[in-house]
Structure 1
Amino acid sequence: MPVIPGVTACLRCIYPEQPAGVQPTCETGGVLNVIVSTVASLQVADALKILSGHGDLVRPRITTVDVWDGGIRQIASPPRDPDCPTCGRREFSYLERTAVAPVSLCGRNAVQIRDRERPIDLLELEARLRPLGEVRANVYALRFFIPPYELTVFPDGRAIVKGTSDLGVARSLYTRYVG
């Protein structure tokens, strides 16, 4: 579904709240890997239309692709909701961290955590963690290995905890080692 700011509906216009449990996740339903490149190709084609000055050729539609049976179905996107919190009122709660909870990353045995309001000094964190285990760091990220886990911490406070999909375990490791 192409989202053209100020013109078409965004995903939050269609799903004001995430429909928990209604759709299968890639954890429960699986993802046939060729669908990723198929959808990316459709998105790139729409982007090229816009970039080449032919944005009028982009159709506001929701496309469902079933690569297993070769079916492609399209329905018209609903109209943009002028009172939508995201595209109507310009409130970006997911980007501003006000609505971001730890998330188990699909099929990766990892959890992403974003709950710090202040940046992290990666050099200071590296010095603190070095006596506790293997640490690799640069200006972009710090990786800390404590088998069977691996924490990747970013300067904005985000972290990816690999080796678990349990949100509680990931939060505990983050609190213990990052603070």
Structure 2
Amino acid sequence: MELSDEEIERYSRQIVMDEIGFEGQQKLKNARVTVIGVGGLGSPITQQLVAMGIGTVRIVDRDVVEISNLHRQVLYGDEDVGLSKAEAAHDRLKRINPKVMIEPLTLSINDDTVDEAINNSDVVIDGLDSVSARYSINRACVRLKIPYIFGSAIVTTGSSTSIIPGKTPCLECFQPALKDDEMPKCGTEGVHPAILTTVSSVQVSEAIRIIIGKEPNLANKLFLADVANLDYDKVKIIKQFKCNVCGPDADLTIKKSKRKLIEDICGREGKSVHIISPKENLEINLDKLNNILENDNLEIIRKGELGTTLNYNEKITVSIVTSGVSIIVGALEEKRALEIFSEIIINKLEINPEKVHNEFQKLLKVN
């Protein structure tokens, strides 16, 4: 599609740059970028992409906004607490630039869902904090030949690289065999907002270069930053011949990352948090769900287009997004979290448990 006169004026400060120009702006308008995770990195990434006029931005996040996000996740405010991040981000981004198409998804990223998340993308940008989810994205991008802009940040340090399938090392060439359980988390270690804006800006710059047809600066290089000491560096990374993702003998038809039905993540407000991620996108009918909850006299805290948050009792809150991903805060054990999920999703909504997990009922009894 051609640029309108209004768009030419809106993006005039970019169009005048040799780095982008009129043809480059046209390419941005016709591009589709997927941002996985709309948290500390994803918030400034999506803000910049939308403001710069990327034609379609798909945002993927399973979580809901909580008050501890607000110091660094700049898309959200107090009024968004309890809402799906995908929904709150969509609404904020449309206010920034109504000309851009925003596609919100509430999926949990794993080998079963990743193709739906990145399908038809020109570039995928990483705003994740999960190694297993990153591995799923990396494998899918290599298989589908979609450029993937990796980024990570913790405390005051961060890194980024541009992964071009067939040309550069993939994620597992330089970060193989990592485990989520062994990685530092911002919930316990903390994260400085300045490192998030630093790394996210580098990621956006790389994505723009790829879209307009230029060589990314971080092809075969890893950008490293530490805002505590203002140290910045780039180191060379090398493609590993025996890599089981991008090496010549790699078999990308095999699902490598084992999907977890239930995860115990960093506590919120001093309470335990369990996230339950169904195998399939359950496409929850929220109107039906809300009616059932109200008829059962359960207090709904927030109603949204993509999710509902409720007080299950005085100690436990539950957030359910349209994909069926459920965040249960305050259940002391996995078994109790699974029981609550089963009561609401399986029993009240009459969802086939095999859509959640092939052996859901068995897992429920075991836990």
* Structure 1 spans left out of the alignment, 5+ residues: none
Tell me the equivalent position of 1:133. Answer: 298
Whole-angstrom CA distance in 2 between matches of 1:118 and 1:43: 29
Instruction: Tell me, yes or no, if structure 1 residue 154 matches structure 2 residue 321.
Output: yes
Instruction: Tell me, yes or no, if structure 1 residue 117 matches structure 2 residue 280.
Output: yes
Deviation at 1:107? 6.7
Inter-CA distance 3–164: structure 2 relative to 1 (3 Å threshold): farther
Identical amino acids, percent of aligned pairs:
22
Deviation at 1:171? 3.5
1:171 is matched with which residue: 315, 334, 338? Answer: 338
Amino acid at match of 2:262: P
RMSD: 3.4
1:142 is matched with which residue: 308, 331, 334? Answer: 308
Between 59-68 and 35-44, report the one with greater CA deviation. 59-68
Instruction: Tell me, yes or no, if structure 1 residue 8 matches structure 2 residue 173.
Output: no
Q: 2:163–2:169: 8 Å Cα contact kept in structure 1?
A: yes
Amino acid at match of 1:9: P
1:38-91 Cα deviation digits (max 9, x unpaired): 110110111111122212544322222111111123222231667534895445
SS in structure 1 of the partner of residue 169 of structure 2: coil
Between 58-67 and 37-46, report the one with greater CA deviation. 58-67
Amino acid at match of 2:199: V
SS in structure 2 of the partner of residue 144 of structure 1: strand
Q: 1:112–1:159: 8 Å Cα contact kept in structure 2?
A: yes
SS in structure 2 of the partner of residue 178 of structure 1: helix
SS in structure 1 of the partner of residue 192 of structure 2: coil
Amino acid at match of 2:287: L
TM-score, normalised on structure 2?
0.40
Give the aligned length. Answer: 176
Higher RCO (CA < 8 A, seq sep 6+):
1
Q: 1:112–1:160: 8 Å Cα contact kept in structure 2?
A: yes
Whole-angstrom CA distance in 1 between matches of 2:169 and 2:245: 12
Between 104-113 and 36-45, report the one with greater CA deviation. 104-113
Whole-angstrom CA distance in 2 between matches of 1:111 and 1:145: 15
Deviation at 1:157? 1.6
Deviation at 1:118? 5.7
TM-score, normalised on structure 1?
0.73
Deviation at 1:34? 1.4
Alignment of 1:45-124 (within 5 A): 45-79=205-239, 84-85=244-245, 88-91=250-253, 93=255, 99-105=259-265, 108=268, 110-117=273-280, 119=282, 120-124=284-288
The answer to which structure has the higher helix fraction is 2
SS in structure 1 of the partner of residue 222 of structure 2: strand
Deviation at 1:37? 0.8
Amino acid at match of 1:17: A
Deviation at 1:30? 1.9
Q: 2:195–2:227: 8 Å Cα contact kept in structure 1?
A: yes
Whole-angstrom CA distance in 2 between matches of 1:79 and 1:165: 44
SS in structure 2 of the partner of residue 2 of structure 1: strand
